[in-house]
Amino acid sequence: GVEHAILHLLYARFITMFLYDIGLSPVEEPFERMFTQGMLIRDGAKMSKSKGNVVSPDHYYKSYGADATRLFELFVGPPKDDAVWNDSGVPGTKRFLDRFWKQATFDHGFAERNRDQRDKEILGVAHRTVRKVTEDIDRFHFNTTVPALMTLSNELQTYLADEPLKGTYDEVMEK
């Protein structure tokens, strides 16, 4: 959390400035900018080793995989804000990743298809999603990248089922 991270940053700054002052480093300041993340809350209290209320990721890694566990941590809320830990969230991100993986790796016979308006629409949705995700990552808004990818996955599922798309990406995101 913030309290813990700030101490590490102070130590790093002190050492860097000392090395600069004695001529052993060309770098005067160790960091261009600072970003502190919020705390995870569990049972109404900040997670802390000293309080004994830390959730070990080992169970989640073994049951759902590291990717699903990490994705849930990104999805839980803005990284600068505190967030409440919810044990039921990781299985949902695992299901999403499994579905997205199948959509991306299954041979859907695209080579045999003629391009039509639906193909152009789904490509537009994909391009707008890539732009949104890129912008959100640049701003550290990781929690909004995951719903954008979930929306793309839903639109892709509709497309692959050979049904009309539900609307443009912007219309879908407004719902």
Strand order from edge to edge, sheet including 45-46: 45-46, 40-42, 83-84
Helices (H), the chain: 2-21, 58-64, 66-75, 89-105, 117-138, 142-160, 169-174
Tell me what pLDDT residue 175 has.
43
The number of residues making up the chain comes to 175
Number of CB atoms found within 10 A of residue 128's CB: 18
Residue 163 above 60 pLDDT? no
Tell me what pLDDT residue 136 has.
94
Tell me what pLDDT residue 112 has.
65
Could you identify the residue written with the tokens 């629409």? Answer: 121
Entry pTM: 0.70
Strand, coil or helix: what is 42?
Answer: strand
Spatial contact of 128 and 145, defined as CB atoms under 8 Å apart: no
pLDDT in tens, 54-75: 888 899 999 999 999 999 988 8
Spatial contact of 14 and 56, defined as CB atoms under 8 Å apart: no
Q: Across all residues in the chain, what is the average pLDDT?
A: 84
pLDDT in tens, 21-40: 999 999 999 988 877 788 88
For a pLDDT cut of 70, what percent of the chain falls above it?
Answer: 86
Tell me the mean pLDDT in the region 80-86: 86
Residue 126 above 50 pLDDT? yes
Residue 93 — pLDDT band, cuts 50, 70, 90?
Answer: very high
Tell me the mean pLDDT in the region 110-120: 72
Tell me what pLDDT residue 49 has.
80
Closest CA to 150 of 55, 63, 74, 45: 74
Residue 1 above 70 pLDDT? no
Closest CA to 122 of 78, 83, 166: 166
